[in-house]
Structure 1
Amino acid sequence: MDQELNPQMERALDELATLVCQSLEGDGEQFVERQDGLLKTLVMSGHSWKSERTVMEEVERRVKERCSECAMHRGGALTSLTSKLGTKLQSLARWESNSPSEDSPAKPANISSATDA
């Protein structure tokens, strides 16, 4: 069941689509700078369980709506960009879901709990 995406997720997906369009047109500076923050927004907002479509599919659909001419002629580049987004999103999701390492010892919450003061 596809739930309605919240405005924050919609905005992040729209911005990703805009950045991908710019990148396809040769201006990809902002894409590299902004993609991590936008993908983290989607991870933290729970996009993966609120949507039937993957981020890759959703961004690709929006790109085709926005800059269809460019997307049509640069389909391989579009697929490559969205695939990289999907891989990065999975990496961020895994990183966010990892629990603290059991190798590192517990640390005191404040100075008074670390000493007998």
Structure 2
Amino acid sequence: MDRAGIGKVCLSLPGTTLDHPFGDDHDCYKVGGKMFVMVGGEGSVSFKVSEIAYEILTETGKARPAPYLARAKWVNLPDPDAWDDEELAEHFAIAHRIIAEKLTKKARAELGL
């Protein structure tokens, strides 16, 4: 999946916004002001995962710990084109849900979640 495809999938999730806090070459997809997917300047993608998914993806070598965000259970894919689009879209939806669930009831209601 390329940068445009990632954007299309992420922006289709409810309450998602696109931001560029690290420069125009980094796309950060947020829900309720909190990041759940980030595309780096060179095309790699990082996203939030569950603790179990983090262990499985990093131990099997399918993903690596995301720079600066690994302690928060984020993984990084240097080449998202090597992944199946449907599988990657599912991971993005899960990342969105993980972050959205941490929002306050009021924030979720305002976003229609």
TM range (shorter): 0.3 to 0.5
* Higher share in helix: 1
Task: Please identify the structure whose Cα radius of gyration is greater.
Answer: 1
Q: So what's the TM-score if we normalise by structure 1?
A: 0.32
Q: So what's the TM-score if we normalise by structure 2?
A: 0.33
